[in-house]
Structure 1
Amino acid sequence: MSLTKTYRSGTYPLALILSLSLADLAHARSTHTFANLGMQSFATHCFSPFLTRQKAVDVFGVTGFAYDFYDLDPFSSAAPSPAEGRKVTVGTDRRCEISFDGTHGLQAADVAIAALKSEGLDTHADVPAHFIRTADTTLLAARRLNPRRVAVVHVGTRVGENGIETFMSVERLLPEQVEG
């Protein structure tokens, strides 16, 4: 029995083909595992009113996820965390966003919805007009945090540094942006 196989335009040792196939499978699994870790990190940390800049660095900075965080008016006694990444979104005072490689929008949206439910954030609110749903948006929803505050959750895919990436974001509206 020969341990070679014709593959595309040549003959290669079967061991090489199997090792390449296993490497591809391992990469796919590691990318999927990394995405799952990102989704769970978002769900666990981004809805917490006690997340600070330092905690965001400690949690997201060591994982390899791209992230963006600011909290200009913390609910806790923590010092404000200025925006260091993208500009502050008009009408918000807090953002927690992570992104990771790959197209995982549907699964990420499911995780975000489950996180909203587990936090007891199930009272719907209107999404302000300046939050734009794009063709690559999987979830754009607003939920009341309390009578004066609303969180807007945005999940989808976009072009990132390494190709398509999935992003998960939650932003807190300023009280004057919340409709009665």
Structure 2
Amino acid sequence: MIRSLIISCLLASPVMAGTVASTAIDSFNAICFKAGQTAAEARMRMEARAGSPLPFDLTFWDKTLQPAPDTPPKIERRCEVRFDGDHTDTAIAALRKQMATPPVFGFAIDLPDTHAEASGTALIEGRELLRGRVAVVHVGTRDGQTFMAVDRLPRGWEGG
């Protein structure tokens, strides 16, 4: 009995340690703010943390590293996770904590014209980054899911 319990614990996926929501939120905060990763690398890192297949939806692209057709022209990078239920309060609290952890994730600025609050938005905020870049963090609900997203805009984004 004890042996089978130990084997079951060893074979359990990382998701079993917490809920899908906490796993998605933790994975977003650990991976989505890291620059210099391809979509495959981001997915691999998420799967290493959360299990494979991912227990949540992931959208990731970085036009500075590889082509990303059919994506918004003024956004160079996006990382978004989506998971069932309304967990916006928990997601916002974790996101705020992550953004305040050194190195601090920029400082709040007016929202760029590339983004706007939408139905279901719980938080949307522009952040000024190093080297003239800007990021937008967005948390909300759509279609019965919570989403957390961070978009990075290139230097000169305000110029069109």
Q: 2:115 matched to 1:131?
A: yes
Task: Quote the residue 2:37 is aligned against.
Answer: 51
Contact kept? 1:150, 1:178, Cα under 8 Å: no
Runs of 4+ aligned residues of structure 1 deviating over 4 Å after TM superposition are none
Task: Name stretches of at least 5 consecutive residues in structure 2 with no aligned partner.
Answer: 1-15
- In percent, how many aligned pairs have the same letter? 32
Task: Quote the residue 2:77 is aligned against.
Answer: 94
Superposed CA offset, 1:42-79 (max 9, x none): 00000011332222221335222211111112xxxxxx
Q: Which amino acid aligns with 2:57?
A: A
Task: Quote the residue 2:98 is aligned against.
Answer: 115
Task: Name stretches of at least 5 consecutive residues in structure 1 with no aligned partner.
Answer: 1-29, 74-79
2-side partners of 1:68 and 1:151: how far apart?
A: 16
| Deviation at residue 178 of structure 1 after TM alignment | 4.5
Say how many residue pairs are matched.
137
Task: Quote the residue 1:175 is aligned against.
Answer: 155
Q: 1:66 is matched with which residue: 57, 62, 70?
A: 57
TM-score (norm 1): 0.69
More strand by share: 1
2-side partners of 1:88 and 1:117: how far apart?
A: 29
1-side partners of 2:60 and 2:153: how far apart?
A: 14
Q: 2:67 matched to 1:82?
A: yes
Q: Quick check: which has more Rg, 1 or 2?
A: 1
2-side partners of 1:39 and 1:175: how far apart?
A: 28
Superposed CA offset, 1:111-134 (max 9, x none): 111111114124222211331212
Single out whichever of 48-57 and 37-46 deviates more from structure 2: 48-57
Q: Which amino acid aligns with 1:83?
A: A
Superposed CA offset, 1:80-115 (max 9, x none): 13337xx42231100011111111011111111111
1-side partners of 2:106 and 2:41: how far apart?
A: 26
Label 1:146 to 1:122 Cα distance change in 2 as closer, same or farther (>3 A): closer
Contact kept? 2:133, 2:152, Cα under 8 Å: yes
Label 1:122 to 1:93 Cα distance change in 2 as closer, same or farther (>3 A): closer
Contact kept? 2:111, 2:125, Cα under 8 Å: yes
Residue 21 of structure 2: SS of its match in structure 1?
helix
Q: CA RMSD in A?
A: 2.0
